[in-house]
């Protein structure tokens, strides 16, 4: 499982090129929605940024637990060893698709995002009642809702959580992934211009996508061993 956790963390880190485009606008809007006195100092702004991201992490971990539990149920219908190998191979395939998605070479995961938008339409109105954010507690709740926004990057890692084999391990996979995304999303406010330029660079996106595809291939190899 250590390899799976490492993979999830690295995918979260490399997926930053997608996070900037997908969530950068959300981070910016939430930040500039705060009163000016709280935006003026990093010390006053930091509790809100931490709360947003903690809420997002909580939602990812909850989704990972659900998907890990689903994987455990799937394993009931075949020997556990073979079930884990099959699910691990599927996770590797999705990781390769994610690499193609991050690089912009094949946007097939857009279809998953479209499917997830149905759930988002039910959840998103709740966040409007919490705006404008005035306390870290509100920020935490908004972050928890933010964690369910349709995202091909998140969906591909949820497939990996299914292969983990239990609710606890599925939650751990998504926790590792969420920690990998933190450096990018926490720094967007300070380096928005540089981050946006990097995210649009074909070379940066290509390298990130290729590395994720490499992890996908290694995952499939592990499944076949």
pLDDT in tens, the chain (225 residues): 677 898 899 888 888 766 666 666 677 667 766 776 666 677 777 888 889 899 999 999 999 999 999 988 887 777 666 777 787 788 888 788 877 877 777 766 667 666 667 777 788 788 778 877 888 899 899 989 988 888 888 888 898 898 887 899 999 999 999 999 888 777 765 454 445 555 556 776 777 778 888 878 888 887 787
Cα 220 to Cα 224: distance, rounded to the nearest angstrom: 6
Length of the chain: 225
In terms of Cβ atoms closer than 10 Å to its own Cβ (0-12, 13-18, 19+), residue 96 is buried
Q: What is the pTM of this model?
A: 0.80
**Dihedral (C-alpha) 10, 15, 20, 21: value to the nearest 10 degrees?**
180
Q: How far apart are CA 51 and CA 96, in angstroms?
A: 32
Cα 8 from Cα 159, distance rounded (Å): 11
pLDDT at site 201: 64
Rg of the chain on CA atoms, in Å? 18
Q: At what angle do helices 152-162 and 80-103 cross, to 10 degrees?
A: 170
Pair 42, 152: CB distance under 8 Å: no
Domain spans of the chain, in order of start = 2-224
**Cα 50 from Cα 197, distance rounded (Å):** 24
């Amino acid at each position: 499982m250590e390899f799976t956790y490492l993979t999830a963390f690295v995918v979260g880190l490399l997926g930053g090129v997608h996070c900037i485009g997908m969530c950068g606008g959300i981070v910016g809007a939430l930040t500039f929605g705060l009163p000016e006195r709280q935006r003026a100092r990093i010390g006053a702004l930091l509790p809100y940024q931490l709360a947003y991201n903690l809420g997002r992490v909580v939602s990812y971990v909850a989704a990972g637990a659900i998907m890990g539990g689903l994987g455990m149920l799937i394993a009931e219908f075949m020997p556990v060893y073979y079930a884990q190998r099959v699910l691990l191979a599927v996770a590797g395939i999705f990781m390769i698709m994610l690499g193609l998605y991050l690089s912009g070479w094949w946007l097939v995961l857009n279809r998953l995002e479209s499917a997830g938008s149905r759930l988002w339409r039910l959840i998103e109105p709740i966040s409007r009642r919490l705006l404008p954010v005035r306390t870290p507690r509100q920020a935490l709740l908004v972050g928890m809702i933010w964690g369910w926004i349709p995202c091909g990057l998140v969906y591909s890692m949820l497939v990996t959580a299914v292969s983990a084999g239990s609710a606890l391990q599925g939650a751990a996979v998504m926790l590792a992934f969420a920690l990998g995304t933190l450096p990018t999303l926490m720094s967007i406010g300070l380096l928005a211009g540089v981050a946006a330029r990097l995210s649009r660079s074909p070379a940066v996106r290509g390298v990130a996508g290729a590395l994720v595809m490499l992890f996908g291939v290694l995952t499939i190899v592990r499944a076949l061993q």
